[in-house]
Copies of this chain bind each other. A is one copy, B any other.
Amino acid sequence: MNTTELQKVLDGRFAEVRADVRERLAKEDMTADPGLSVEEYRALTLANLRKLAASGHPHRGFSGDVGGVVTAFAMLAFADLSLLVKAGVQWGLFGGAIQVLGTSRHHDKYLQPIMDGELLGCFAMTETGHGSDVQHLRTTATYDPSTQEFVVHTPDPSARKDYIGNAARDGHLAVVFAQLITGGESHGVHALLVPIRNRRGKPTPGVTIGDCGHKAGLNGVDNGRLTFDHVRVPRVALLNHFGDVAPDGRYTSPIANETRRFFTMLGTLVRGRISVAGGADTATQKALTLAIRYGNIRRQFADPATGEESAVLDYLVHQRKLLPALATTYALHFAQDEMVHTMHEVQNPGASQDEARQRDLETMAAGVKAVGTWHATRTIQMCREACGGAGYLSENLLPQLKADTDVFTTFEGDNTVLLQLVAKTILSDYGKQVGKLDLAGKARFGVELVAGFALERTGARALITRGGLRDRAYQRYLFVEREEHQIANAAQRMRAALKPGADQFAIFNAAQDHLLEASRAHVDRIVFDAFARAVDGCADAQTKALLDKVLDLHALSVIEAERGFFTGHAYLTAGRAKAVTQEVNALCGELRPHARDLVDGFAIPEVWLECPLLAGEHDAAAPATNPAPPVEGPSDLSAVG
Q: Which residues of A contact B (CB under 8 A)?
A: 34-35, 37-38, 126, 129-133, 135-136, 158, 162-163, 186, 212-217, 259, 263, 299-305, 309-310, 314-318, 320, 377, 381, 384-385, 388-389, 391-395, 398-399, 402-403, 406-407, 409-411, 414-417, 420-421, 423-424, 427-428, 430-435, 456, 491, 494-495, 497-498, 503-505, 507-510, 512-513, 515-516, 563-564, 567-570, 574, 577-578, 581, 585, 624, 626, 628, 631-641
Contact = CB atoms under 8 A, between A and B. Distances in A.
How many copies of this chain does one complex carry?
Answer: 2
Contacts of A510: 316, 585
A216 B403 contact: yes
Contacts of A217: 392, 399
Contact of A388 (B304, B410, B574): B410
B216 A634 contact: no
Contacts of A385: 409-410, 415
Contacts of A318: 416
Contacts of A632: 135, 259, 263
Contact of A574 (B315, B421, B570): B570
Contact of A394 (B186, B215, B304): B215
B416 A300 contact: no
A641 B431 contact: yes
A636 B136 contact: no
A130 B417 CA distance: 45
A497 B635 CA distance: 10
A639 B428 contact: yes
A402 B406 CA distance: 10
Nearest to A624: B129
A15 to B, nearest CB: 34
Contact of A512 (B317, B384, B577): B317
Counting from the closest, the 4 A-B pairs by CB-CB distance are A431-B641, A216-B399, A34-B214, A428-B639
Contacts of A641: 427-428, 430-435, 491
A305 B497 CA distance: 12
Contacts of A495: 640
B399 A215 contact: yes
A394 B213 contact: yes
A626 B384 contact: no
A302 B398 CA distance: 40
A207 B290 CA distance: 32
Contacts of A393: 212-216
A391 to B, nearest CB: 8
A48 B299 CA distance: 38
Given A129-B299, A317-B516, A424-B640, 15 more contacts: A34-B213, A131-B300, A133-B300, A162-B389, A216-B392, A216-B393, A216-B402, A217-B392, A304-B504, A305-B505, A377-B381, A385-B409, A417-B634, A430-B641, A431-B639
Contacts of A505: 303-305, 310, 635
Contacts of A314: 509
A301 B133 contact: yes
7 contacts: A133-B300, A391-B410, A424-B634, A432-B641, A498-B637, A564-B577, A567-B567
B574 A563 contact: no
A574 B410 CA distance: 34
A87 to B, nearest CB: 19
Contacts of A432: 641
Contacts of A567: 564, 567-568, 574
A303 B497 CA distance: 13
A533 to B, nearest CB: 30
Nearest to A574: B568
Contact of A316 (B216, B315, B509, B569): B509
A388 B131 contact: yes
Contacts of A421: 634
A420 to B, nearest CB: 4
A636 B424 contact: yes
A217 B400 CA distance: 11
A406 B392 contact: yes
A305 B126 contact: no
A33 to B, nearest CB: 8
Contact of A640 (B420, B428, B640): B428
B132 A301 contact: yes
B637 A504 contact: yes
B428 A414 contact: no
A341 to B, nearest CB: 28
